Chains A and B, each alone.
Chain A
Amino acid sequence: MANRHGSRRRMYWRMVSSSLIRRASRLIIAVLAIAIGATILSGLVTIYYDIPDQLGREFRSYGANLIVLPGGEEKITPTTLARLREIIGESRIVGMAPYRYQTVKINEQPYIIAGTDLAQAEKNSPFWYVEGRWGNVQDTSSVMVGHEIAETLGLNLGDNFMVQGVRYGEQAEASGQNLSALENQKRDLARQNFHRTFTVCGIVTTGGAEEGFIFADIDMLDELIGDTYRADAVECSVVADAAELSAISARIEAEIPGLMPRAVRRLTQSQDIVLGKLQALVLLVTAVVLIITMISVYTTMMAMVAERRREIALKKALGAENRLVMSELLGEGVLLGFIGGAMGVYLGFEFAQRVSLNVFGRAINFQAALIPATIAMFIAITVLASIIPVRKVMDIHPAIVLKGE
Chain B
Amino acid sequence: MSSTILELHNVSKIYGNLKALADINLSVNAGDWLSIMGPSGSGKTTMINIIGCMDTPSVGSVILDGVDISKENAASLTRIRRDKIGLIFQQFHLISYLTAVENVMVAQYYHSMPDEEEAMEALAKVGLADRARHLPAQLSGGEQQRVCIARALINSPQILLGDEPTGNLDEENEGIVVDIFRRLHEEGVTIIVVTHDPEVGDVAQRKIVLEHGRIVDDIDQSATFGEALKLKSNVSV
A324 touches B110 (CB 8 A): yes
Residues B87 and A318 in contact, CB atoms below 8 Å apart: yes
In the complex, chain A residues whose CB is within 8 Å of the CB of B112 = 4
Shortest distance in angstroms between B42's beta carbon and chain A's nearest beta carbon? 14
| Chain B: minimal CB distance from A1 (Å) | 10
A311 part of interface (Cβ distance < 8 Å): yes
- On whether the beta carbons of A22 and B97 are closer than 8 Å, the reply is yes
Q: Which of A8, A14, A398 contacts B113 (CB 8 A)?
A: A8
**Docked CA distance A211–B191 (Å):** 105
Q: A7-B114, A11-B105 are in contact. Are A405 and B91 (CB under 8 A)?
A: yes
Name A's interface SS: helix
Listed residue (B52, B55, B93) with the most chain A CB atoms within 10 angstroms of its CB: B93
Question: Which residues of chain A come closer than 8 Å to B97, judged between CB atoms?
Answer: 18-19, 21-23
Residue of B83, B87, B98, B114 near A317 (CB, 8 A) is B87
A154 at the B interface (CB under 8 A): no
Q: Mark A253-290, 1 if CB is under 8 A from B, else 0.
A: 00000000000000000000000000000000000000
Report chain B residues within 8 Å CB of A316: 78
For residue B82, which residues in chain A have a CB less than 8 angstroms away from its CB? 318-320
Complex: how many Å from CA A405 to CA B89? 11
Whether, in the assembled complex, B45 has its beta carbon less than 8 Å from a beta carbon of chain A, the answer is yes
The number of chain A residues with a CB under 8 A from chain B is 30
Chain B residues, Cβ within 8 Å of A310: 93
Q: Are B87 and A399 in contact (CB under 8 A)?
A: no
Interface residues of A in 358-405 (CB under 8 A from B): 397-399, 402-403, 405
Query: Which residues of chain B are near A403, meaning CB under 8 Å?
Result: 45, 49
Q: How far is the CB of B11 from chain A (nearest CB, A)?
A: 15
Question: Shortest CB–CB separation between residue B30 and chain A, in angstroms?
Answer: 21
A4/B113 contact (C-beta < 8 A), A14-B102, A18-B102 known: yes
Contact in complex: B90, A405 (CB < 8 Å): yes
Selected contact of B54 from candidates A22, A315, A399, CB within 8 Å: A399
Contacts of A311 in B (CB 8 A): 95-96
Whether A319 lies near B45 (C-beta < 8 A) is no
Establish whether residues A11 and B109, one from each chain, have CB atoms under 8 Å apart when the complex forms. yes
- For A5, give the chain B residue with the smallest CB separation: B113
Q: Taking the complex as formed, is B9 at the interface, i.e. its CB lies under 8 A from any CB of chain A?
A: no
Separation of A262 and B87 alpha carbons in the complex (Å): 84
- Once the chains are docked, how many angstroms separate the CA of A11 from the CA of B110? 10
B106 interface hit (Cβ, 8 Å):
yes
Question: Known: A8-B114, A19-B97, A399-B55. Contact between A318 and B105, CB under 8 A?
Answer: no
- Asked whether any CB of chain B lies closer than 8 Å to the CB of A314, the reply is yes
For the complex, give the distance between the alpha carbons of A4 and B114 in Å. Answer: 8
- B54 and A320 contacting across the interface, CB-CB below 8 Å: no
Contacts of B93 in A (CB 8 A): 310, 314, 317, 402
Q: Which residue of A14, A22, A320, A397 is within 8 Å of B110 (Cβ)?
A: A320
In the bound complex, what is the Cα–Cα distance between A314 and B95 (angstroms)?
8
Shortest CB–CB separation between residue B101 and chain A, in angstroms? 11
Bound together, the chains give a CA A405 to CA B163 distance in angstroms of 12
> Is B1 engaged at the interface, CB distance under 8 Å to the other chain?
no
Binary per-residue interface labels of chain A (313-341) against chain B in the complex, 1 for a CB within 8 Å, 0 otherwise? 01111111100100000000000000000
Q: Does A189 contact B (CB under 8 A)?
A: no
List A residues at the B interface (Cβ < 8 Å). 4, 7-8, 10-12, 14-15, 18-19, 21-23, 310-311, 314-321, 324, 397-399, 402-403, 405
11 more contacts with CB within 8 A, not counting A18-B97, A319-B111, are A4-B113, A8-B113, A11-B108, A14-B102, A15-B98, A23-B96, A23-B97, A315-B95, A319-B78, A321-B78, A399-B54
Some 19 contacts from A to B, beta carbons below 8 A apart, are A4-B112, A7-B113, A7-B114, A7-B115, A8-B114, A11-B106, A18-B98, A314-B95, A315-B95, A317-B87, A317-B93, A318-B107, A318-B110, A319-B78, A319-B110, A397-B54, A402-B89, A402-B93, A403-B49
